[in-house]
Amino acid sequence: MSKKTARNEALRNIAIIAHVDHGKTTLVDQMFKQSGVFREGQEVDDRVMDSMDLERERGITIAAKNCSIHWRDKKINIIDTPGHADFGGEVERSLSMCDGAILLVDASEGPLPQTRFVLEKALKSGLKIIVCINKIDRADARPDEVLDEVYDLLIDLGADEDQLEFPLFYAIGRQGIAKKSLDEEAENLHILLDAVIEEVPAPAYDPDAPFQMLVSDLSYSDYLGRLAIGRVFNGRAHSNEQLACIGENGQQNLRVTRLQTYDGTKVVETETATPGDIIVLSGIEDVFIGDTICTVTAPEALPRITVDEPTVSMRFGINTSPLAGQEGKHVTSSKIRDRLMREALSNVAIRVEDTDDRDAFMVKGRGEFQMAIIIETMRREGFELTVGRPEVILKEVDGKLKEPIEHLFIDCDEESMGIITEKLASRKGRMMNLVNSGSGRVRMEFTIPSRGLIGYRDEFLTDTKGTGIMNSLLEGYDDYRGDIPTRFSGSIVSDRAGKGVAYALFNLEPRGRLFVTPNDPVYEGMIVGEHNRENDIDVNPTKGKKLTNMRASGKDEAVTLTNVLPTTLEHALHFIREDELVEVTPESIRLRKVELNAQKRYQMAGRKKAQK
């Protein structure tokens, strides 16, 4: 690529990076309010940028969002990035559009694993970092110690001298104030917005180069078709211009039907795009993330966006249960495949592969949480499907089996330390560090296989009575650490179809924990509970009480059942074994055996024993 010499001083492109729940989206809300995006008196939702229902419910950012504000006659494009490592693909493509980043750190919790994850990506991209220690109004805030931890983290990540000379601010994001020192009085975020203009370099470009844009995101409009979103690296673009798209499979020519740019949270039409701006192009059908859009006369590709390899795979298939098609609109394999392919288009960290079974697909991604979000989104869109247990992707290097290893950070009360250490040891975890701050809480670090963490989060919350914090970060591949027992309990399986009966369920309660309630539909092969012992048992949950003329029919009918907690998607994915599936519909989450017929399951188990 030719040397860049000019800068577009009218623009700044920044990302806001942080760990989950350190206040990124709330800070962006305040930036909107104080820069005049919303008119005086306008009613605005909190966390405007978290537009997906799932984001609002879970209080996390899942998809990176673009928006812009105007400050001191300059336009600032802001990208609100996810803080969760499972959405690392979102972070990587977001940073490809930026020249600087505001690193937001909680004044009490300090830099946590996902802070490290996104900061490492930002430093590798050479972004100018502005550090903002947020939530200094917390009762347990320790801003000075947190600042030392930020320095330690930057040094650990190999930051150069320029990156260590960062502008520092203290903020209360919720109140919309920022200041340079803890003793100052502050009323707004103006000092932080000024620093973005002064410290973050304006986008650089080559004034002689023709138009080049890197596609960093894709969207879809019912009116305009597929939309390509990305940053203009060189040159200018105009609507209705003839351009070319350079992808992995060569070059294709296209005509831009509409050119749009960000204004606040909205997208507005514009005639011209300037170097460094983040724009939305429509009129391009076969475009993928990482492609370059450029002029037909001088086509030259920009370096493609690269993302880390997927570490987890899951089988997605059609719903084959007797209740299939009763609750969802989209039930065919072609609909499921199209939806998954659409997901892979806009999510660079996801890969979808066909399998030998034409009704099933293999989806590979970063983690079980990312998979659960995709499934939850699909069921809300009216899909019915079955999914298998998440499995880690193993590699063979020089004849040795390697598996993904996570660096696990745990913050918990001292009394929970013993049970956590014991459970992680059984999951092949190795303790690397232990810090006791003397406040009754400890911070532990482990390395543990990714598969050892599947299903552990629920147990961890129970063991720490909800007070523990657990975060992990992919460290890389290492030698396979041996088999891990996944579950010490069996399944209680229905042997017939019908509806759950209170009398039958009451008599099954001593056998284990039930997942169904009276009147719930059941079918042969459906898992209705967790057995107290290791083996599976087949039961009849539809059995009613035989009445005789020796007693009054209503006298002892009233049985009292233990309350059944609704099965969540995450719990279901953690619970199932290799021979089990989760049936997901818009209204229900059910557990079932892969083979529904009890007789066939016995025959298969017999064959397995004989082979051993």
- Give the confidence band of 446 by pLDDT, cuts at 50, 70, 90: very high
Tell me the average pLDDT of the chain.
82
pLDDT on residue 53: 44
**Cα separation of 54 and 68, whole Å?**
23
Does the pLDDT value for residue 20 go beyond 70?
no
- Give the confidence band of 21 by pLDDT, cuts at 50, 70, 90: low
Degrees, nearest 5: CA angle 457-88-74: 130
Level-2 CATH architecture, domain 395-479:
2-Layer Sandwich (3.30)
What H or E segment, with its residue span, contains residue 28? helix 24-35
188 is in an annotated binding site: no
pLDDT on residue 511: 92
User: Token pair of 453, please?
Assistant: 């963490």
- Give the confidence band of 336 by pLDDT, cuts at 50, 70, 90: very high
Q: What is the pLDDT of residues 223-278, one digit of tens each?
A: 777 788 888 998 888 877 888 888 877 888 877 788 888 887 777 888 888 899 88
More confident: 552 or 444: 444
pLDDT on residue 581: 94
Taking residues 536-541, what's their average pLDDT? 93
Does the pLDDT value for residue 400 go beyond 50?
yes
* CA distances (Å), origin 559, targets 428, 487, 509, 555, 578: 44, 31, 12, 11, 35
Q: What is the pLDDT of residues 132-177, one digit of tens each?
A: 999 898 888 889 999 998 998 888 888 888 888 899 999 888 888 8
Q: What is the pTM of this model?
A: 0.70
pLDDT on residue 251: 83
β-bridge mates for residue 581, sequence order: 592
Level-2 CATH architecture, domain 209-295:
Beta Barrel (2.40)
Question: Which CATH fold topology does 312-392 show?
Answer: Alpha-Beta Plaits (3.30.70)
pLDDT on residue 319: 94
pLDDT on residue 343: 82
26 is in an annotated binding site: yes
pLDDT on residue 432: 92
pLDDT on residue 580: 92
**Cα separation of 370 and 368, whole Å?**
5
pLDDT on residue 398: 86
**Cα separation of 477 and 404, whole Å?**
4
H helix runs in 285-361, sequence order: 333-346
464 is in an annotated binding site: no
Contact criterion met (CB below 8 Å) for 114 and 121: no
Q: What is the pLDDT of residues 294-315, one digit of tens each?
A: 888 888 888 887 666 788 899 9
Does the pLDDT value for residue 40 go beyond 50?
no
22 is in an annotated binding site: yes
Taking residues 25-29, what's their average pLDDT? 78
Q: DSSP states of 517-566 as a string?
A: -TT-EE-TTEEEEEESSSS-EEE-TTPPPPP-TTS-TTTT----PPP-PP
Task: Give the lowest-confidence range in 176-185, 213-222, 419-428.
Answer: 213-222
- Give the confidence band of 386 by pLDDT, cuts at 50, 70, 90: very high
Does the pLDDT value for residue 541 go beyond 60?
yes
pLDDT on residue 612: 65
pLDDT on residue 46: 40
Percent of the chain with pLDDT over 90: 26
Q: What is the pLDDT of residues 559-607, one digit of tens each?
A: 788 888 788 888 888 888 888 999 999 999 999 999 999 888 888 878 8
Q: Is 312-392 the same fold as 209-295? A: no
Q: Which of 442, 380, 379 is nearest to 409 (CA)?
A: 442
Domain locations along the chain: 6-204, 209-295, 312-392, 395-479, 491-611
Taking residues 483-507, what's their average pLDDT? 88
CA atoms within 13 A on the CB side of 245: 23
Q: What is the pLDDT of residues 517-532, one digit of tens each?
A: 999 999 999 999 999 9
Q: What is the CATH number of domain 491-611?
A: 2.40.50.250
User: Token pair of 604, please?
Assistant: 């298969």
Q: Which of 454, 448, 457 is nearest to 424 (CA)?
A: 448
pLDDT on residue 62: 32
Contact criterion met (CB below 8 Å) for 173 and 134: yes
156 is in an annotated binding site: no
pLDDT on residue 540: 93
Taking residues 200-207, what's their average pLDDT? 90
Question: Which CATH fold topology does 6-204 show?
Answer: Rossmann fold (3.40.50)
